[in-house]
Structure 1
Amino acid sequence: MTSTVRRAGAFALVGMLSLSAPVLGQAAALPFVAIAVLALFVVSEGTLFELFARPGDHQDKRLYGLASFSLAAAGLAILASLFALPVSVFITSVLILAFGNLAQELLRQYSDNPFMATVGFSTGGFLAGLVSQIGLTAAEISMTTVPLAAFLAASGALLGALLRAVLFERDDPLVMLTIGFLLWLFVDLGIEVTGPQIAIALTLTVVLGYVSYALETASIPGMLTGVLLSLLTIVLGGLGWFAMLISFFGIGGLSTKFRYDEKQQRGIAEENDGARGSGNVLANSAVAIAAVVGYAASPALTTLSPDLFLFAFAGSIAAAMSDTLSSEIGGLFDHPRLITTLKPVPAGTDGGVTWQGEVAGIVGAALIAAIAFVLFDTVGTTGASIVVLAGVAGMTVDSLLGATLEGSRLSNQGVNFLATLAAALVGVGLALVTNTIVL
């Protein structure tokens, strides 16, 4: 057993102190505070120090990693004792991180493939989160169902795996706290999850993750982001919402790979062999996920019509699809023109468009509209037309921002986010004006 596995196992044992929370009540933070004090001021050498020490701890002879881990757990415990954070969320968040790290280090002993390390964290974190919640059902006033426990465990494990893939080991406290706040939000939303629903969601997201990895359409962080967003979309929205999202992920990813060598020669190819990263995925999907969370909270918590969030979601996804196809297809044709002046510009110029790309963008928006028309009774022909217009509006905003602000004031991700936000607003606005939805 290597030192990294032993260290991860030791941290997992510390994390198990969280299981005492139902007994300790408001004193649940004290064990972790005591561990932090020992790590910072008492244990500076010897076997125990070497067991917990991370590489950076040796210089100052202080167990900073253990102390920060313990203080983060203590912070969640304080939130659980003084505020409305459920005890189960505190325990689950700590154990997802602790046992996710342990499973990740165990798999690293057999494979140096980063994908396998991600699988290890996701699986270990999920199982620890699921078992802890099921074990706590008798101690909780509000009984946690197994499907809901599985959803919370999977959400926390995937978020943790994503953050672990893009952050440093010393950032584990941030990972723990972020998991805790996400799960707290879901518990407060009062989400109802059925067994078949979570089974379908987990199956589809696992398949999506493997396929995107096998086809190299996304980096590991990008893949994790897509998988997490897909899980949330299926559970909080439904399969119809997921159909729109996965159409964008699938077609958009494949369009990036389409004639990739030629795009490289033109200087317009995506980096990393066309594999989209987490920033790109989030920029194109953040508005959509906000919409699906709003849908889950409506009308009980927002007092707004659920259909308002449906049009925001469909409009933003239509814009993401439209913009992706416009750039990936349109970039293969000669004689692009700057959208603001219509003057010829070199291929790859921000804000440069071709008529072929514009047609591809319209087709992309129409595809999302067609899915919405078929799967949602509230959309209809007027609603489908609104989705197309919203998608094209978002694509146009993307080009306008690319020609004016991208590179100087906005990054590509910022432009994508604002374009999808504009499309969502256009979709909602047109739906209200045409009385397709009523607040």
Structure 2
Amino acid sequence: MTSTLRRAGGFAVVGTLALAAPSLGTAAFAPFAAVALLAAFVIDDGPLFELFARPGDRKDGRLNGLAGFSLAATGLALLATVPRARMPITVFVASVLILAYGNLGARLVDTRADDEFLRAAGFVSVGVLAGTVGQAAVVSLTDEPFALSRFIFIAALGALVAALLRSALYERDDPVVMLTVGIALWGVDGLVGPVTPAQTGVAIAMTVALGYAAYALGTASVAGMITGVLLLLVAVGFGGFGWAVVLASFFGIGALATKFRYERKAERGVAEDNEGARGTGNVLGNSAVSLLAVVGYATMETVGQPLGSDLFVLAFAGSVAAAMSDTLSSEIGGLFDNPRLITSLKPVPAGTDGAVTWQGEVAGVAGAALVAGSAIVLLPLPDTAAAVAILVGGVVGMTVDSLLGATVEGDRLGNQAVNFLMTLGGALGAVVVWLPL
């Protein structure tokens, strides 16, 4: 057994102390606080030190990693027991176990294969299992209702958030990951309604299938893949299957459009970098507005504001229509000659920011129409006129992207910022057009 695997096993054992929370009540923080004190000031040599020591710990002669992990768990335990805060005990336990056992799952994979995708899959799989079992164990000791589907959904969401953060941070930043997962799941727990077994099962199957396809086909990096499936899971939990299908249609069709005649686009200098594999920044740039919209919809539904719900549905669909429209116009239009700058209509070289072709514009309108048509069937739109507003919103977003590309992209704004503003333009465009209708 390697030292990293033994260390991950040791952290998992420490994380298991969270299961004592229902019995300890307001003293749930005590075991972790004690471990943090021992790690920081007492254990500086011997078998325990060698078990938990990370490379930097040996230089400092102190178990900084274990102390940070335990202090983060202490903070979450306090949030779960302080009267005015009251994070659900299930969320506290799930957050600790997801990270502790997820790391163990990743290290188990490392003993068999050196593959980033398999490592992330091991982290998420074991993290989901541990988070689900932890929540179930807690409610078995309390009067809370047993809701296995909800436990799985919460654990899956937390594991994906943790895996995404770990892909961007260092191992020593695990305390930040744990605290972030805890706060995120606390918010989710308060907004997500009942989760049915069918909803959970289909959501997990959809995210696993799409995530594997994205990685296997090379349409997304590992971090981009995790981001995409996380957004789909959020869409299912806060909106429903229809929301996830609309979003998945953009991911799937957009990815295929990116790969379409990729070599030809590369020769022309208009192809996406990294062989077309989109990373976290690209995925979030195109989907952050839709994520905010679906969370806003769930909030309006919770407080009983139907007009607000309608506006957020339109904003969601408009942002996805804009992302689809812009992607298709760029990927299809880049294959044709004679592009012109949108602000002056003067001919410019292929690949110039803000350049458009009539073929790309037609493809963009078709993409927006596709999203508008699917929204009629899959989303709770207020009326059929909303489909027209979504189509217009998609075209508005595509045009915003071209205008920003011709004026400020590069020196002032990066591609991800432009994508965000483009989808925001699509969302606002759909809302503004629908209101007078």
Please, what TM-score do these two structures have when normalized by structure 1? 0.96
| Mean CA deviation greater in 171-180 or 302-311 | 302-311
The runs of at least 4 aligned residues of structure 1 exceeding 6 Å deviation read none
- How far apart are residue 409 of structure 1 and its match? 2.0
Partner of 1:392: 395
Evaluate the alpha carbon distance shift between residue 150 and residue 344 of structure 1 in structure 2; reply closer, same or farther with a 3 A threshold: same
CA contact (8 A) 1:8 1:98 kept: yes
| Mean CA deviation greater in 130-139 or 91-100 | 130-139
CA contact (8 A) 2:192 2:238 kept: no
- How far apart are residue 190 of structure 1 and its match? 4.6
- How far apart are residue 381 of structure 1 and its match? 4.0
Evaluate the alpha carbon distance shift between residue 382 and residue 303 of structure 1 in structure 2; reply closer, same or farther with a 3 A threshold: closer
Question: What per-residue deviation string (whole Å, max 9, x for no partner) do you get for residues 219-277 of structure 1?
Answer: 11111111111112122212221221111000100111111111111122111110111
Following the alignment from structure 2 to structure 1, what is the Cα–Cα distance between the partners of residues 251 and 259? 12
- How far apart are residue 377 of structure 1 and its match? 6.3
Question: What per-residue deviation string (whole Å, max 9, x for no partner) do you get for residues 80-124 of structure 1?
Answer: 111121111111100000000001101110111111111100110
1:59 partner letter: K
Partner of 1:61: 61
Following the alignment from structure 1 to structure 2, what is the Cα–Cα distance between the partners of residues 188 and 376? 23
- How far apart are residue 64 of structure 1 and its match? 1.2
Give matches, 1:92-107, under 5 Å: 92-107=94-109
Evaluate the alpha carbon distance shift between residue 379 and residue 334 of structure 1 in structure 2; reply closer, same or farther with a 3 A threshold: farther
1:324 partner letter: T
Following the alignment from structure 1 to structure 2, what is the Cα–Cα distance between the partners of residues 251 and 165? 26
Partner of 2:323: 320
Partner of 1:335: 338
Following the alignment from structure 1 to structure 2, what is the Cα–Cα distance between the partners of residues 351 and 286? 22
CA contact (8 A) 2:246 2:378 kept: no
Partner of 2:405: 402
Partner of 2:136: 134
Structure 1 runs not aligned, ≥5 long:
435-439
Partner of 1:375: 378
Following the alignment from structure 1 to structure 2, what is the Cα–Cα distance between the partners of residues 301 and 169? 40
CA contact (8 A) 1:373 1:379 kept: no
3-state DSSP class of the match of 1:36?
helix
Following the alignment from structure 1 to structure 2, what is the Cα–Cα distance between the partners of residues 421 and 54? 44
Is it true that 1:17 corresponds to 2:20 in the alignment? no
Following the alignment from structure 2 to structure 1, what is the Cα–Cα distance between the partners of residues 106 and 380? 45
Question: What per-residue deviation string (whole Å, max 9, x for no partner) do you get for residues 7-28 of structure 1?
Answer: 0000011111111211222222
Following the alignment from structure 2 to structure 1, what is the Cα–Cα distance between the partners of residues 336 and 36? 61
CA contact (8 A) 1:294 1:302 kept: no
- How far apart are residue 144 of structure 1 and its match? 4.1
The partner residue of 1:303 within 302, 305, 309 is 305
- How far apart are residue 301 of structure 1 and its match? 2.7
The size of the alignment, in residue pairs, is 434
Is it true that 1:413 corresponds to 2:424 in the alignment? no
3-state DSSP class of the match of 1:56?
helix
CA contact (8 A) 2:313 2:380 kept: no
Following the alignment from structure 1 to structure 2, what is the Cα–Cα distance between the partners of residues 406 and 302? 40
Following the alignment from structure 2 to structure 1, what is the Cα–Cα distance between the partners of residues 52 and 147? 36
3-state DSSP class of the match of 2:435?
helix
Evaluate the alpha carbon distance shift between residue 418 and residue 377 of structure 1 in structure 2; reply closer, same or farther with a 3 A threshold: closer
3-state DSSP class of the match of 2:198?
helix
Following the alignment from structure 1 to structure 2, what is the Cα–Cα distance between the partners of residues 24 and 375? 47
Partner of 1:437: none
- How far apart are residue 141 of structure 1 and its match? 4.1
- How far apart are residue 344 of structure 1 and its match? 2.0
Partner of 1:149: 151
Following the alignment from structure 2 to structure 1, what is the Cα–Cα distance between the partners of residues 142 and 181? 20
| Mean CA deviation greater in 369-378 or 356-365 | 369-378
CA contact (8 A) 1:133 1:144 kept: no
The partner residue of 1:353 within 353, 356, 359 is 356
Following the alignment from structure 2 to structure 1, what is the Cα–Cα distance between the partners of residues 348 and 57? 54
CA contact (8 A) 2:214 2:220 kept: yes
1:354 partner letter: T
Please, what TM-score do these two structures have when normalized by structure 2? 0.96
CA contact (8 A) 1:77 1:90 kept: yes
Give matches, 1:33-48, under 5 Å: 33-48=33-48
1:270 partner letter: E
Is it true that 1:184 corresponds to 2:212 in the alignment? no
Structure 2 runs not aligned, ≥5 long:
none
| Mean CA deviation greater in 30-39 or 215-224 | 30-39
Following the alignment from structure 2 to structure 1, what is the Cα–Cα distance between the partners of residues 221 and 304? 36
Question: What per-residue deviation string (whole Å, max 9, x for no partner) do you get for residues 160-218 of structure 1?
Answer: 12222222111111111111112111111151111111111111111111111111111
- How far apart are residue 304 of structure 1 and its match? 4.6
Is it true that 1:30 corresponds to 2:30 in the alignment? yes
Evaluate the alpha carbon distance shift between residue 75 and residue 380 of structure 1 in structure 2; reply closer, same or farther with a 3 A threshold: same
The partner residue of 1:173 within 172, 175, 193 is 175
| Mean CA deviation greater in 255-264 or 41-50 | 41-50
3-state DSSP class of the match of 2:176?
helix
1:415 partner letter: V
Following the alignment from structure 1 to structure 2, what is the Cα–Cα distance between the partners of residues 357 and 274? 18
| Mean CA deviation greater in 321-330 or 398-407 | 398-407
1:41 partner letter: F
3-state DSSP class of the match of 1:433?
coil
CA contact (8 A) 2:375 2:381 kept: no
C-alpha RMSD of the superposition: 1.4
CA contact (8 A) 1:336 1:345 kept: yes
